[in-house]
């Protein structure tokens, strides 16, 4: 009886509890994409600590029935979505709208084609991390030189300026970690202050300009990108060491990355590069070494809804300038041109003596983004740059260690970008830019080549990308830019009133202040620019695509082109700007047919650029100063045309042997004077035969070949001048170009311990060929580099 009574009590208690719990509630809802509110089909929902689960149907809806009063926790999962855990207090029937962060791949360690869809229909070439590693002890320009259509304007072998289709300096936009570089880039011998070792990918866009970054990409766009890190707990990094026989130097680079599952990440990177005097095939290049100390730091948070990144880098470069390139009079120049060897050849040294350059570049960025449900993504960025450039000449006495040029350029920028997607086929980018620059020359005892100036920039752009169907994309954009330049500069009264007639052309610039033979002026300019870009991408089949681009670009003259006035010591010439120079207007057309196939692929890209008001710096004679006799170069404006074709080929010969080849043909014409344009790249072609055996320690062996034909199309700017030594007129040939040359290279690499330890051996200029490149400003004084044996060790951890 007692047992039966107890059992009855238990049954009654359970029945009473069940009634009290009232498990008759329901939870209904719909799961949609946070980005565009589209329904998410097939998402799984599981109530924690329960066997209740369900999946969403074709309209994204779901339902749980017979829920008891109290708190429940649900885990929601879907492919390409970030899992979501959400809790509810059940006290009645509930209807709930739930969003998932779809497109989770945007957070992962993937290659992002472009920050803006404006680049998707552009003709683009990329340099991946393995190629960047291969050029770790060289410059950005050296690495870009491997791409068809890209060449360089050199000052010796250490100062390398990239050129795209014959255009460089202010006509190229260089974007470093989403920051447009401003580092006194106007000079022929001013190389970009970027440490490639801090990047993971470099894109060269040769098509219509990317309106997101500026309206003045007459030549093209170079984008140096960092890497996105996966949302996981991880600690990894690498160290790379390189050793070179030519210059007896090398490079050391180390980086370490820490990422967290929460989305936070940080990266620290440092590199050091040092070389002594380099060597041509037959002699030493006295005072040609370099020393670089670079560092960068990234800290950020990465999630689909929001994120931020802080980035800082410092580049500290010291470049020696070939001793023999320093000329004291016109006789030195004539002797150098006619000589087979430099006039100064000394024993090897690590010293970096005058003449030399010393540049420190600071770059900082704070970027943040936020996604708004059903609307779009808003990004805001502030960045600053400080560029300190010092150029040292051969000076004596107390001024021996004082630079002859000391420039300090400070740039502050703010920008915002809004991405919206009204429907599945249309994506819009709307953006704003504000920028302020100050250039403050520091007294050196010489008249500053570039004066004090303030520059204000403001830009607005709208870019749209529309998918007509799965095989066709259209892109269009428009941008407006406002620029204002205010300068403060002294002029020689004779030049102001008589040589250039500025007293009649620009009386509003005069201040009335005169000191001796000089007049103080305040030039001021205002520019309004409209630019546009149009692009078409047509996928003909799975591996064949057609790209068509048109771009209208307007470039405001830089302060060098307007205000240069004096001896540019590291360039060993007198440079003169013109106050009546106006902006350039370029119409650019480029077509590209691409077959992306490993067995046989190709890219054929013809292009045409018509540039009205093309600004060029050309030699006009010789001027004698207290420092000696120097060539005089002046800026002027003409109309120009540049056209050509780039061709790339790849062919798989067998499972382990591949061929790669490229050819670039270009013509530049001064249509105003019916002359060839100055400093245009010659026709060139490259070949590479590569053997790769993945099973045998990832062994790779490749032989490279490059031929550059003699540039026979050049303007004749030769002249006669009085030799101060012989007191006779002499012929100065500064236009004739060097002959055709061919060089070969060898590369061997292998990896051990599952890729954690990598070795690489490179032999450059394999046969120690003597040659000169006509785009090297020091070709009058010395040959290019001779053979170099390079050995690299990389440790991944």
User: Which strand (E) or helix (H) includes residue 316?
Assistant: strand 306-320
Name the residue with tokens 């149009």: 534
For residues 68 and 18, give the distance between their C-alpha atoms in angstroms, rounded to a whole number. Answer: 9
According to the model, what pLDDT value does residue 35 have?
61
DSSP for 512-573 reads: EEEETTEEEE--EEEEEEEEEEEEEEEE-SSSEEEEEEEEEEEEPPPHHHHH-EEEEGGGTE
Which numeric CATH code is attached to 2-102? 2.60.40.10
Q: Which two tokens stand for residue 24?
A: 């008759």
- Superfamily covering domain 123-220: TonB-dependent receptor, plug domain (2.170.130.10)
Q: Which two tokens stand for residue 286?
A: 């006295």
Pick from 146, 594, 609, 193: which is nearest to 388 by CA? Answer: 193
Report the predicted TM-score, pTM, of the whole model to 2 decimal places. Answer: 0.85
Asked if residues 106 and 80 have their Cβ atoms less than 8 Å apart, the reply is no
According to the model, what pLDDT value does residue 108 have?
44
For residues 258 and 405, give the distance between their C-alpha atoms in angstroms, rounded to a whole number. Answer: 42
What radius of gyration, in Å, describes the C-alpha atoms of the chain?
32
Report CA 314 to chain centroid distance, whole Å.
Answer: 16
DSSP for 398-424 reads: GGTTS-SEEEEEEEEEEEEEEEEEEET
Q: Which residues contact 43 (CB under 8 A, 6 or more apart)?
A: 31, 55, 56, 60, 62, 76, 77, 78, 81, 100
What is the DSSP code (8-state) at residue 766? T
How many CB atoms within 10 Å of residue 749?
Answer: 21
User: Which strand (E) or helix (H) includes residue 662?
Assistant: strand 657-670
Pick from 785, 780, 778, 588: which is nearest to 167 by CA? Answer: 588
Q: Which two tokens stand for residue 280?
A: 């041509």
Cα-Cα-Cα-Cα dihedral sign, residues 774, 775, 776, 777: positive
According to the model, what pLDDT value does residue 122 have?
59
How many CB atoms within 10 Å of residue 101?
Answer: 20
How many CB atoms within 10 Å of residue 544?
Answer: 15
DSSP for 140-197 reads: HHHHHTTSTTEEEEEETTTEEEEEETTB-GGGEEEEETTEE--SSTTSTT------GG
Asked if residues 319 and 290 have their Cβ atoms less than 8 Å apart, the reply is yes
**pLDDT under 50: residue ranges of the chain:** 5, 9-19, 104-119
* Domains of the chain by residue range: 2-102, 123-220, 221-227+251-796
**Neighbour order of strands in the sheet with 172-176:** 124-127, 201-205, 220-225, 172-176, 179-180
User: Which strand (E) or helix (H) includes residue 3?
Assistant: helix 2-21
Q: Which two tokens stand for residue 247?
A: 């210059």
According to the model, what pLDDT value does residue 6 have?
52
Burial class (CB in 10 A: 0-12, 13-18, 19+), 268: middle
User: Which strand (E) or helix (H) includes residue 454?
Assistant: strand 452-469
For residues 215 and 444, give the distance between their C-alpha atoms in angstroms, rounded to a whole number. Answer: 35
For residues 713 and 153, give the distance between their C-alpha atoms in angstroms, rounded to a whole number. Answer: 17
Question: Cis omega before residue 211 (within 30°)?
Answer: no
Q: Which two tokens stand for residue 404?
A: 């002859």
Torsion of CA 451, 454, 458, 459, to 10 degrees: 20
Pick from 703, 660, 707: which is nearest to 685 by CA? Answer: 707
Burial class (CB in 10 A: 0-12, 13-18, 19+), 495: middle
Q: Which residues contact 727 (CB under 8 A, 6 or more apart)?
A: none
Q: Which two tokens stand for residue 434?
A: 């504000």
How far is CA 308 from each of CA 234, 304, 648, rounded to the nearest angstrom?
19, 11, 39
How many CB atoms within 10 Å of residue 446?
Answer: 19
DSSP for 671-738 reads: TTTTEEPTTPPPPEEEEEEEEEESTTTTEEEEEEEEEE----------EEEEETTTTEEEEE--S--P
Partners of 390 in the β-ladder: 358, 406
Q: Which residues contact 535 (CB under 8 A, 6 or more apart)?
A: 118, 120, 121, 122, 207, 208, 473, 474, 475, 476, 547, 548, 549, 550
Partners of 676 in the β-ladder: 669
| The listed CATH number (2.40.170.20, 2.40.160.10, 3.40.50.720, 1.10.3720.10) that belongs to domain 221-227+251-796 | 2.40.170.20
According to the model, what pLDDT value does residue 625 have?
64
Q: Which two tokens stand for residue 437?
A: 């620059």
């Amino acid at each position: 009886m007692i047992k039966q009574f107890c059992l009855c009590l238990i049954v009654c208690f359970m029945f009473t509890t069940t009634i009290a719990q009232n498990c008759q509630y329901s939870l209904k809802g719909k799961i949609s994409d946070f980005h565009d509110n589209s329904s998410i089909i097939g998402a799984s929902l599981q109530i924690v600590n329960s066997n209740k689960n369900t999946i969403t149907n074709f309209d994204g809806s779901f339902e749980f029935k017979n829920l008891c009063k109290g708190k429940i926790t649900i885990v929601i999962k879907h492919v390409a979505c970030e899992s979501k855990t959400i809790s509810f207090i059940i006290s009645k029937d509930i209807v709930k709208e739930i969003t998932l962060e779809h497109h989770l791949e945007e957070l992962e360690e993937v290659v992002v084609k472009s920050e803006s869809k404006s680049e998707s229909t552009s003709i683009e070439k990329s340099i991946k991390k393995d190629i960047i590693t291969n050029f770790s002890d060289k410059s950005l320009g050296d690495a870009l030189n491997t791409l068809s259509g890209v060449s360089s304007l050199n000052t010796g072998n250490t100062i390398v300026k990239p050129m795209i289709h014959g255009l460089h300096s202010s006509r190229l936009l260089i974007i470093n970690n989403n920051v447009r570089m401003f580092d006194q880039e106007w000079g022929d011998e001013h190389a970009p202050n970027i440490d490639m070792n801090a990047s993971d990918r470099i894109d060269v866009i040769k098509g219509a300009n990317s309106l997101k970054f500026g309206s003045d990409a007459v030549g093209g766009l170079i984008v140096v990108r960092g890497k996105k890190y996966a949302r996981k707990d991880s600690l990894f990094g690498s160290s790379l060491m390189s050793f070179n026989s030519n210059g007896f130097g090398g490079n050391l680079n180390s980086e370490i990355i820490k990422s967290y599952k929460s989305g936070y990440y940080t990266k620290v990177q440092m590199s050091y590069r040092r070389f002594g005097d380099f060597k041509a095939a037959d002699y030493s290049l006295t005072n040609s070494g370099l020393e670089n100390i670079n560092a960068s730091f990234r800290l950020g948070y990465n999630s689909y809804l929001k994120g931020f990144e802080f980035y800082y880098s410092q580049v500290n470069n010291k470049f020696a300038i070939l001793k023999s390139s320093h000329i004291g009079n016109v006789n030195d120049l004539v002797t150098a041109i006619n000589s087979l060897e430099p006039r100064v050849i000394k024993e090897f040294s690590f010293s970096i003596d005058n003449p030399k350059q010393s540049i420190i570049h600071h770059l900082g960025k704070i970027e943040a983004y936020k996604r708004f449900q059903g609307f779009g993504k808003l990004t805001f960025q502030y960045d600053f740059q400080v560029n300190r450039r010092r150029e040292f000449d051969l000076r004596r006495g107390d001024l021996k260690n004082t630079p002859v040029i000391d420039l300090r350029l400070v740039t502050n920028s703010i920008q915002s970008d809004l991405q919206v997607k009204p429907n599945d086929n249309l994506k819009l980018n709307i953006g704003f830019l504000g920028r302020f620059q100050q250039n403050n020359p520091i007294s050196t005892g010489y008249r500053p080549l570039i004066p004090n100036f303030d520059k204000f920039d403001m830009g607005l752009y709208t870019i749209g990308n529309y998918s007509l169907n799965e095989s066709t994309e259209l892109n269009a954009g428009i941008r407006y830019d406002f620029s204002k330049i205010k300068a403060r500069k002294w002029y020689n009264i004779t030049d102001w009133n008589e040589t250039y007639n500025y007293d009649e052309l620009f009386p509003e610039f005069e201040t009335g202040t005169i000191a001796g033979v000089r007049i103080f002026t305040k030039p001021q300019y205002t520019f309004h620019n409209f630019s546009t870009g149009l692009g078409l991408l047509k996928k003909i089949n799975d591996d064949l695509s057609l790209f068509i681009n048109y771009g209208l670009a307007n470039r405001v003259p830089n302060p060098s082109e307007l205000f240069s006035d004096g001896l540019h010591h590291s360039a060993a010439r007198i440079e003169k700007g013109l106050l009546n120079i106006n902006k350039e207007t370029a119409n650019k057309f480029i077509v590209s047919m691409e077959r992306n196939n490993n067995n046989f692929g190709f890219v054929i890209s013809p292009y045409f650029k018509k540039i009205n008001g093309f600004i060029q710096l050309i030699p006009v004679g010789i001027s004698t100063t207290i420092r000696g006799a120097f060539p005089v170069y002046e800026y002027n404006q003409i109309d120009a045309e540049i056209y050509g074709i780039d061709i790339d080929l790849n062919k798989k010969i067998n499972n382990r042997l591949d061929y790669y080849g490229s050819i670039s043909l270009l013509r530049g014409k001064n249509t105003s004077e019916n002359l060839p344009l100055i400093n245009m790249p010659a026709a060139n072609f490259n070949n590479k035969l590569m053997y790769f055996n993945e099973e045998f320690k990832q062994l790779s062996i490749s032989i490279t070949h490059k031929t550059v034909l003699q540039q026979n199309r050049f303007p004749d700017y030769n002249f006669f001048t009085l030799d101060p030594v012989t007191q006779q007129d002499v012929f100065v040939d500064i236009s004739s170009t060097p002959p055709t040359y061919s060089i070969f290279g060898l590369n061997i690499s292998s990896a051990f311990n599952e890729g954690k330890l990598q070795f690489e051996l490179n032999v450059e200029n394999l046969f120690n060929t003597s040659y000169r490149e006509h785009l090297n400003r020091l070709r009058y004084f010395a040959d290019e580099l001779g053979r170099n044996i390079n050995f690299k060790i990389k440790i991944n951890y």
